[in-house]
Structure 1
Amino acid sequence: MLPITQNFAAMLLTLYCGFCYGFVLISSASAGAGSLSEKHFFEVGKSWDYDYVVRILLNEKGAIAKDVGFSVRGDLLVESVWSSEYRRLLKFTLKSPRLSIKSKKSHEDGGFTSHSSKLDSVKTTSFYGLWNMGKVEKVLLPKGESPTVSNFKRGVASLFQFQLLDQEITEDDSSGRCSVSYFSTAPNKFTKSKELCENTDLPHIITPDFVLSATIQSKREALYELDGEIRHILNIEAKEEHVVFMTAEEDVGNKVEVLQTLKFKETGSCPIINLDKFEDVFQKVVNEEGIFTEESLITQKVHIKSDDIKSFSNTINDYRDSLKAKSLGSLASAKSIIPLVRAARKSLLDDINKALQSKKNQKIQHQLIDILGHAQTMDSYNAVMKKIHFDDKKHEDLCERYLWALSLASQPNPEIISGLIEKYKKLINIPPKVKETLILSIASMANRLSKLPDKPGNTKIINAVKETITNGLDNAKNDNEKFVFLRALRNLKVKGILPTLMDVIRKGNRKEGILGWKAIRAMDPSNWNEDVLAIAKKTFYQLDKEHDSSSRTLAVDIILTSNPNEETLTNIIYFLLSKDKDFEVKQYAFQLIKMLAEDDPRFKDRVVRIIQSNPVINNYHILGQKGFSLALKRKFMDNPSSNGTLLTIQEMSTGIVKRGIVNVMMDKDGVSQEIFSLGIFSAGLGSMLSNDPDAASDDVATAGMELAVLGTQLRPFKFFEGQGELMGHVWSGTASDMTTAYQVLPKYKENIHIIPQQP
């Protein structure tokens, strides 16, 4: 076992104070004890001495013998010093606390061995709880005491909050606001269990994407034994377990177990405060023992200063080799992200500036920019803005790298979004690539912000982003500018943009229509209302005007994935009989129906029934549609926790891939999350490869690639635009050169949960 230092012992004390929790004392009507209104409960002038033990163990989920942890033992003295009707003032004193640690060398006492610590010199202090018919109305805590120690005392006071009757109620204690169940198991034995405990005062971070989030399973239960006359507690055994694991990989996680016992030793007597009013009692306690404050049982936030977190500049020294380009994509690179992001969030502007300016770090500038993008603090943002400038073409790569990192962070900072909007509006000479990436990143950050718990000002920021994009779309000077803002709406994908997108589809040109449908398709299907489905049908069947084939395939995709009714599904299948000249659209629709039928047996039964009901459709001439378009889904990972699938869509035109997509999807409990999407597109190439006069197009010869990471669309990467560029690549051989399109250190998941561990 590793040697235990004095600092480690101090850390255990901190954990002890942070993790320790109160006990639960309950009784039952069946015990024959009457009600809590009887005055022998916590009879004034009496005291009760208990042996108190708490053990905390940390382990990997599913592991048995690898746990580490500590134990604290002490004597708890409880004195009833004042009463008025059913109210009691209970005085609590924890004496002689002693620390033990888990050791492989120890074969006694559950594997724990005594260890010296600062607990040995802790000053014994008392605190009070005002008890009223089973409820601890408030606790009196010494002023100036550390929040960690105060929280521990709240837990001890929560021990004496109980009810006699079997029931289910809501209680506030040191675990938070919980749903509590009382149940009697014998005349003098009871259980108390708590679930759904919430404490909104404690910070928490939840990744909004379900598949990438963490799952917490908690169990809190305590067993009690009272004496035969139901006058005091004999024993309490409280068990608590919290398991935290990755939603998509349930084998990866940790488990915290807490066992707490309270054993009765003896009854004694104590001095009584002979005053009528509680206010006078409180003043007497203050005069004799010092200043106390009145507090609730709810655990308060603790700011812990950790010496383990170095400054950002010093942390880089530990991971510099892992950040070099040769290590990208390796385990060493992945391990460096968390400590560096943590250090960046704790560091101030000057330290981050120092790291960015250091000559030793010049070869890892891009990686540091990634880290600072995920940090999402104003100090990190201001440091980067001092290093790079959006309107400087020399900084183009670093600017895009930083914006990509910002757009992937699961917890966007509203102040940074506001700062980016201001720069977008004020800076005039931003290079086109950076300007497009800037507005796309702003939109993506606003979308992620909309998924987080609402806070004051968040809605205002989201509306400001929406207004910036829609105003830009309305005032665009040419089609290329419009396309940029339509792609930004695709990243924003909040419900309020639907009217704008549908207006673009109705009134815009063919390319605008495609981008409008792509934006709607990227939204959560719950946002597809009847108006969206109505315009989708008009687009697919071309009832209002001619639409591009890509718009039509996107429209039928939305219709079919919206659980269409029998009439709608029948009409789409009967569309295969139509004389529509765009056979690739019919082939795509049929391939999509087949793909959906493979995943959904009920949908398959509906399709088969419709086809078999009409002999005209149920034959090879119709079911063997002409064309090369396809849609298919194949699993690449299948385990009990989640499934991984590859979704491939290929829309063909004149024998050339017009729109191709490969999506990497993660599926969990019926929820699908797009992890990565690689798409290719082309236009204006039909006339070069086909003799069909219908293949002629006014489009400029273009081909390129589209990438989306966690739903964030990046700007398109064009291979060439125009036949001149195409032939230039052919004759020069540059089309064969390897070129990095996208490179980033991502931090996809971020979950922070603070769980007060009380029974």
Structure 2
Amino acid sequence: MNPNSILYIFLSWLLSMCYGFVLLSSAAGQISDLNLFEAGSSSTYKLQSEVLINEKDNSSKNVGFYVVAEVTVNSIWGKGKDKILQIELTQPLLHIKSRKAPSPDGFVPHKSNLDKMQNKPFLVILKNNKVDRLLMPKNEPLSMVNLKKGLASLLQFQIYEGETKEIDSSGECLAQYTANSDDMFTKTKSNCVSIDLPYTYNPDDILKTMVQSSRISEYHLDLHKNVIKSIKSKESHKMFLSVKEDIGNFVEADQHLILIREGQISTIEGQNIEEALEKLISLHSIVYTQESLMSDRETDGEDATFSDLVNELRDNLKSEAIGTLKSARSFIKLINIGRTSNKKDIQKALASKKNKDLLLQLYDILGFIQSQDSHEAVMKNLIFDDEKMLDFSERYLWALSICSKPNPDIIMDLLKRFQKNNNIPEKIKETMILSIASMAYRLSQLHGNKVKVLKDVEEAIINNLDYAKGEEKYQFFRALKNLKSPNTIPKLLDVIEKGTPKEGVLSWKIIKSLPKEYWGENVLKTAKKTFFQLNKRHDSSSRTIAAELMLETNITEQNLKGMLHYLGSNDTAFEIKQYVYQNIRMKADECPIFKRMVLNIIKSDRFLNNYSTLAPRGMSTALSRNFLSSDSSNGSLVSLQELKSGIVKRGSVNIVMEKNDAIKEIFSLGLFSGGLSSFMSSNGNENELEDEESANAGMELSVLGTQLRPFLFFSGQGELMGHVWSGTASEKTPAYQANTLLQDHLEYIRLGNGLIAELNVKGALSFDLSGSVKISIFYSTAESLVEKAAGIAVIGTTKIDTSFVKSQVEFSASIEPKLILNSDLDFSGKPTACMRLTQPDSLLTHNIFKIERIPGSKHKLRIAKYKKTNIPGVTYSLNRKNNEMCSAMFK
């Protein structure tokens, strides 16, 4: 080996280390000598492009199709790494799924619009061996153009290993190239983005829709003949619910290009690409349009207008249909079409006299559409300062506040109306500021805290809080709870220190609603001072919330020991002791580490290790019960009841979903009361600050983390006695009825073959909350009833829409759960309370529909699959003391 040979080998090795040695050299020399698409060469391939759609686990019959054709690639000009390729797709033929088709593939050829589409050769321009642009014959159908883009995208590759960004029919992707052997390499695409296509998603970890994608292409080269022998492209996309991962759809798309013959052609002269193109175009009569590799979305124009669809679905939108699957389906259809509808069409639906009884449901729908057109249409019909429109205003504002994709322009419009219009009735005004705050928070979940509108909303709420007097402040505290801004923590801690007892309670509720990472050292110190009343007397609800917060953090052994010692103290607030005791037990049941710490403290302390200390008086409860357990997520029913003089002072029944470390409060139903001690027998031991307030009672409801305006049963002793004597409070009254969108996902995935898959998931909820209270002064008894009924439906579709074939798979899951909370109180002597929490039987249905049809043909394939699961009802055991009192009251 001479010195020149050694130097050559060294330099070759060095280059491979710097640039990535991709494919090994052949007998003819280096891989760099490979000259694919050499000018004058012609290669003919067989193309097969297949699409299959199925349910997520791909366990049963799918629907789908494939297209076969011959593809001729002519290199008509070339200079170095710049080339012009003329590609012809010959006689494309559709094959479809059929029950009569032979096994195992199940496909047969079928006539379609593809057979008669205009189809002329197109041009692919390569610059530096990369596809730069396409020239498509003018006026060809979009379906044909997209198929050609998918074909041309197979030629978008490089022969060196490494990672690069590329644009092809899948969008803008990150492409990873890996050598498999001397003449084979793999291209793996990930993080494909299509910013020009609509995309809607719910960022919540529990309610979001998951999409998992895989895109791999394998290239096989003939290094001796400088030609591509074959290209195999395979991709799959799974769409499923985060909360229940076994429900979803699956789409798979494959392309296979196989060399069948080679030849030679005449070329075009030209010094550069543009000169060569000019000569080519002058020789032929074809008019070209310039295109990128990215495919374009097809629309069939078959969708009705929003107003027409309302007319079509009128019966499904009536109040009596709320809570049914047909109502949920209609709700979803109208949201899908409403997001692309114009203001005039939406106004037409709102103004129609035929839709007078549907307006509440229409405002629900428009609140979730949240386009500029939909909002302007609503503002033409909805007058916020008209108290007669309270129900309509609140339904629209509630929907806006719960929507996972808020429109910042709508937020600013509502904020301006809130600040400038002094004639808005108090109830509407409170709902408005609560909705503005919730929308701002949800916007921050999508775009972070840098959006200007978020700062404007926070400043507006704080300023109104500073200038409001007395009970006027409470609505702004509740707005801060919806805003969930950590910037407000210093102010809230100051209010806890210097404000009124009620303001302290509201401040603690806000802090409790914030993510735990914002509960810093200052918050925990204030919680400790509040619970143990080290600085001043606090409302019992402030103390119990502070205790909850301390227990939900990584509480130190010293602080936990102090809380346990408090149970045996001389403090006569027995309900607070019982509430803390129940919370400690609940957490110990959920966390083995915490349970060991509690037991170690008790066993090592003689004062604590006895029945008297760990059996505090009181009837308050805190418990958690599982109602759903699956591989994907868990559902819990959390009930917290803080009592005073036998009456629920602050109670809540929460439905909580958990997935990994993510926790989502779906609903929180709360009961509150105050100033009722004078109506009950009292042992005189509980000297609490809340006795100073006037008699009041009501319900609080939070939906998906958004607190709504409280619903008051009565406020003041005069109103209370009016209800008692008239009996109006004893009638079951709807407090909250609405249609809500849970899952909200729309995504268009560009497939490698040039077609586009639409993934659409909508989860609709019809919700009804009703309650009643009965008080008998003569018999010294009280009864309350709260019923929470819901109809939940999730519909997800995956479809491929072209002008020659349409394939679709749809899943639907629905359930109608119900929750009933009865509370009975006897205060004729020593107060006795019995609470019963029941969940009746329910039925979960999971249906799958697979449809395929050919436009202009009678062919229609439909496959259906039905599954039903009975969920037995349950009565939840609250605690032993409650069970004993229930047995005594109903013996």
TM-score (norm 1): 0.90
CA distance in structure 1 between the partners assigned to 2:665 and 2:236 by the alignment: 33
Cα deviation for residue 30 of structure 1 reads 7.4
CA distance in structure 2 between the partners assigned to 1:202 and 1:449 by the alignment: 20
Check 1:592–1:34 CA distance in 2 against 1; reply closer, same or farther (3 A cut).
farther
- Whether the aligned pair in 2 keeps the contact of 1:165 and 1:182 (CA below 8 Å) is yes
Aligned match of 1:593 in 578, 584, 593? 584
1:369 matched to 2:360 = no
- Whether the aligned pair in 2 keeps the contact of 1:101 and 1:115 (CA below 8 Å) is no
Report which stretch shifted further, 703-712 or 190-199.
190-199
1:482 matched to 2:473 = yes
1:473 matched to 2:465 = yes
Q: Which residue of 1 aligns with 2:4?
A: none
Cα deviation for residue 253 of structure 1 reads 1.2
CA distance in structure 2 between the partners assigned to 1:277 and 1:316 by the alignment: 58
CA distance in structure 1 between the partners assigned to 2:705 and 2:657 by the alignment: 13
Aligned match of 1:509 in 474, 483, 500? 500
Aligned counterparts, 1:737-752, within 5 A: 737-752=731-746
Cα deviation for residue 622 of structure 1 reads 1.8
CA distance in structure 2 between the partners assigned to 1:485 and 1:306 by the alignment: 48
Structure 1 residue matching 2:648: 3-state secondary structure:
strand
Q: Which residue of 2 aligns with 1:409?
A: 403
Cα deviation for residue 587 of structure 1 reads 2.6
Aligned counterparts, 1:554-703, within 5 A: 554-695=545-686, 697-703=691-697
CA distance in structure 1 between the partners assigned to 2:489 and 2:538 by the alignment: 19
1:51 matched to 2:42 = no
Q: Which residue of 2 aligns with 1:174?
A: 169
Report which stretch shifted further, 400-409 or 39-48.
39-48
Q: Deviations over 1:138-180 (max 9, x none)?
A: 5555678777666554433331233445555554443344444
Aligned match of 2:519 in 521, 528, 534? 528
Amino acid at match of 2:630: N
Amino acid at match of 1:435: K
Check 1:281–1:408 CA distance in 2 against 1; reply closer, same or farther (3 A cut).
same
Aligned match of 1:317 in 311, 331, 341? 311
Report which stretch shifted further, 108-117 or 486-495.
108-117
- Whether the aligned pair in 1 keeps the contact of 2:26 and 2:224 (CA below 8 Å) is no
Cα deviation for residue 520 of structure 1 reads 1.3
CA distance in structure 2 between the partners assigned to 1:231 and 1:613 by the alignment: 82
Amino acid at match of 2:590: D
Q: Which residue of 1 aligns with 2:762?
A: none
TM-score (norm 2): 0.77
CA distance in structure 2 between the partners assigned to 1:591 and 1:33 by the alignment: 81
Report which stretch shifted further, 119-128 or 336-345.
119-128
1:122 matched to 2:118 = yes
Structure 1 residue matching 2:38: 3-state secondary structure:
coil
Q: Deviations over 1:293-346 (max 9, x none)?
A: 77664x36x454343321122111221111112111111211111111123223
Q: Which residue of 2 aligns with 1:267?
A: 262
1:99 matched to 2:91 = no
Amino acid at match of 1:701: A
Report which stretch shifted further, 684-693 or 166-175.
166-175
1:38 matched to 2:33 = yes
Cα deviation for residue 90 of structure 1 reads 3.2
Q: Which residue of 1 aligns with 2:248?
A: 253
CA distance in structure 1 between the partners assigned to 2:144 and 2:490 by the alignment: 55
Aligned counterparts, 1:294-333, within 5 A: 297=293, 299=294, 302=296, 304-333=298-327
Would you say how many aligned residue pairs link Structure 1 and Structure 2? Answer: 728
CA distance in structure 1 between the partners assigned to 2:578 and 2:28 by the alignment: 78
* Structure whose residues are more often helix by fraction: 1
Report which stretch shifted further, 49-58 or 613-622.
613-622
Check 1:569–1:396 CA distance in 2 against 1; reply closer, same or farther (3 A cut).
same
Q: Which residue of 2 aligns with 1:10?
A: none
Aligned counterparts, 1:697-716, within 5 A: 697-716=691-710
* Structure whose residues are more often strand by fraction: 2
Cα deviation for residue 432 of structure 1 reads 1.1
Check 1:354–1:40 CA distance in 2 against 1; reply closer, same or farther (3 A cut).
closer
- Whether the aligned pair in 1 keeps the contact of 2:34 and 2:226 (CA below 8 Å) is no
CA distance in structure 1 between the partners assigned to 2:226 and 2:439 by the alignment: 60
Any gaps of 5 or more consecutive residues in structure 1? 1-25
Check 1:376–1:145 CA distance in 2 against 1; reply closer, same or farther (3 A cut).
farther
Amino acid at match of 1:116: S
- Whether the aligned pair in 2 keeps the contact of 1:584 and 1:653 (CA below 8 Å) is yes
Report which stretch shifted further, 286-295 or 246-255.
286-295
CA distance in structure 2 between the partners assigned to 1:31 and 1:596 by the alignment: 68
Amino acid at match of 1:550: S
CA distance in structure 2 between the partners assigned to 1:230 and 1:207 by the alignment: 52
CA distance in structure 1 between the partners assigned to 2:172 and 2:602 by the alignment: 56
- Whether the aligned pair in 2 keeps the contact of 1:240 and 1:258 (CA below 8 Å) is yes
Structure 2 residue matching 1:755: 3-state secondary structure:
strand
Aligned counterparts, 1:134-145, within 5 A: 135-140=130-135
Q: Which residue of 1 aligns with 2:453?
A: 461
CA distance in structure 2 between the partners assigned to 1:193 and 1:517 by the alignment: 51
Structure 1 residue matching 2:95: 3-state secondary structure:
strand
Q: Which residue of 2 aligns with 1:234?
A: 229
Structure 2 residue matching 1:373: 3-state secondary structure:
helix
Cα deviation for residue 487 of structure 1 reads 0.4
Aligned match of 1:132 in 128, 134, 138? 128
Aligned counterparts, 1:327-476, within 5 A: 327-453=321-447, 459-476=451-468
CA distance in structure 1 between the partners assigned to 2:547 and 2:136 by the alignment: 66
CA distance in structure 1 between the partners assigned to 2:521 and 2:282 by the alignment: 71
CA distance in structure 2 between the partners assigned to 1:185 and 1:523 by the alignment: 51
Cα deviation for residue 370 of structure 1 reads 1.2
Check 1:127–1:89 CA distance in 2 against 1; reply closer, same or farther (3 A cut).
closer
Amino acid at match of 1:475: Y
Cα deviation for residue 472 of structure 1 reads 0.7
Cα deviation for residue 437 of structure 1 reads 0.7
Amino acid at match of 1:687: S
CA distance in structure 2 between the partners assigned to 1:695 and 1:728 by the alignment: 28
Cα deviation for residue 615 of structure 1 reads 2.5
Any gaps of 5 or more consecutive residues in structure 2? 1-20, 754-891
Report which stretch shifted further, 676-685 or 342-351.
342-351
Report which stretch shifted further, 685-694 or 150-159.
150-159
- Whether the aligned pair in 2 keeps the contact of 1:29 and 1:165 (CA below 8 Å) is no
Q: Which residue of 2 aligns with 1:21?
A: none
Cα deviation for residue 748 of structure 1 reads 1.5
CA distance in structure 2 between the partners assigned to 1:704 and 1:660 by the alignment: 11
Q: Which residue of 2 aligns with 1:7?
A: none
- Whether the aligned pair in 2 keeps the contact of 1:311 and 1:346 (CA below 8 Å) is no
CA distance in structure 2 between the partners assigned to 1:500 and 1:277 by the alignment: 69
- Whether the aligned pair in 1 keeps the contact of 2:162 and 2:176 (CA below 8 Å) is yes
Cα deviation for residue 581 of structure 1 reads 3.7
Amino acid at match of 2:660: D
CA distance in structure 2 between the partners assigned to 1:218 and 1:694 by the alignment: 64
CA distance in structure 1 between the partners assigned to 2:553 and 2:225 by the alignment: 62
Check 1:651–1:124 CA distance in 2 against 1; reply closer, same or farther (3 A cut).
same
Structure 2 residue matching 1:753: 3-state secondary structure:
strand
Q: Which residue of 2 aligns with 1:3?
A: none
Amino acid at match of 2:123: F
Amino acid at match of 1:271: S
Cα deviation for residue 198 of structure 1 reads 3.2
CA distance in structure 2 between the partners assigned to 1:173 and 1:605 by the alignment: 58
Amino acid at match of 2:525: A
Q: Which residue of 1 aligns with 2:748?
A: 754
Report which stretch shifted further, 595-604 or 272-281.
272-281
Cα deviation for residue 498 of structure 1 reads 2.2
Check 1:464–1:275 CA distance in 2 against 1; reply closer, same or farther (3 A cut).
same
CA distance in structure 1 between the partners assigned to 2:249 and 2:26 by the alignment: 40
- Whether the aligned pair in 1 keeps the contact of 2:309 and 2:334 (CA below 8 Å) is yes
